[in-house]
């Protein structure tokens, strides 16, 4: 069924510092395939309160929230789902008759991926980053039984706070540590950023690891992932994260859960 927007079409959107096409293509593909009267558009904004106020005022059904808005949006919504309240970071807003409820589907995606990739729970790990997405990843690790972790963050205040809240260590730099799992939750390696061609960890650190996880989704083949694959490591990509979290957002917005085959085709279409 081709989408033919009309006065009853429900609009969904995303807010990001660097809007991409994955979510737009993923959601609109599924709306068309499932015959749903929805349309999805990606936005950026320098006026976050105005943007969130517009969601409420215009009856926009849902909004995906990306860096750097995941924490700043909290004060602008009416209610936090437990998935967001527990880690004080959101990535999804659902508008029901002007009531804005926030969720964190990143957490759900990460928990699923750690399980499906069979990452041993006794793995030592280093997580680079301390922002809203880092909270989601670190919380999923903690709740998944990964107890031996290190938060690596140059921002000492944020890094210590994140580590302390979850029972992990903090260091400004990794130094001589050689953990079994490396996790990048920073913009290093992201297309369009100042560090797009850089590795989030040193080559010798990657060589010593067993699992490498990069949440950067654009590109899916970041320098870190390319290096880890060349070294024969178990890898988890940002594409996997963005696909699963987008699926859970789709369900929250529409109340419809696509089949596994429909999900697979939507991811393939979004990537093409």
Half-sphere exposure of 35 (CA within 13 A, CB side): 1
CA dist 114 and 139 (Å) reads 12
Going by C-alpha positions, the residue among 134, 116, 120, 94 that lies closest to residue 10 is 94
- Which residues have a Cβ under 8 Å from the Cβ of 96 and sit 6 or more positions away? none
- Which residues have a Cβ under 8 Å from the Cβ of 235 and sit 6 or more positions away? 211, 212, 213, 214, 225, 228, 229
Q: Annotated catalytic, 264?
A: no
For residue 138, the surrounding DSSP H or E stretch is helix 132-143
Q: Which of 41, 70, 101, 233 is catalytic?
A: 70
CA dist 7 and 179 (Å) reads 54
CA dist 124 and 181 (Å) reads 6
- In eight-state DSSP terms, residue 222 is -
Annotated catalytic sites, by residue?
Answer: 70
């Amino acid at each position: 069924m081709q989408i033919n927007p009309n006065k009853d079409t429900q609009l969904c959107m995303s807010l990001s510092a660097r809007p991409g096409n994955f979510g737009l293509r993923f959601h609109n593909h599924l709306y068309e395939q499932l015959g749903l009267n929805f349309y999805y558009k990606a936005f950026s904004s320098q006026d976050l309160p105005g943007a969130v106020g517009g969601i409420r005022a215009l009856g926009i059904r849902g909004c995906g929230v990306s860096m750097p808005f995941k924490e700043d949006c909290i004060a602008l919504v009416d209610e936090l789902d437990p998935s967001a309240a527990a880690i004080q970071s959101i990535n999804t807003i659902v508008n029901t008759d002007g009531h804005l409820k926030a969720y964190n589907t990143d957490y759900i995606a990460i928990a699923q991926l750690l399980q499906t990739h069979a990452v041993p729970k006794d793995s030592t790990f280093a997580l680079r980053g301390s922002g809203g997405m880092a909270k989601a990843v670190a919380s999923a690790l903690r709740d998944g039984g990964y107890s031996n972790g290190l938060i690596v963050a140059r921002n000492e205040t944020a890094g210590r706070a994140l580590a302390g809240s979850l029972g992990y260590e903090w260091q400004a730099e990794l130094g001589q540590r050689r953990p079994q799992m490396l996790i990048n939750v920073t913009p290093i390696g992201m297309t369009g950023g100042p560090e797009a061609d850089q590795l989030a960890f040193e080559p010798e650190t990657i060589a010593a690891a067993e699992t490498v996880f990069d949440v950067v989704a654009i590109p899916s083949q970041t320098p870190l992932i390319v290096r880890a694959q060349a070294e024969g490591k178990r890898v988890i990509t940002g594409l996997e994260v963005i696909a699963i979290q987008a699926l859970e957002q789709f369900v929250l917005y529409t109340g419809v859960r696509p089949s596994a085959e429909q999900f697979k085709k939507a991811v393939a279409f979004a990537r093409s």
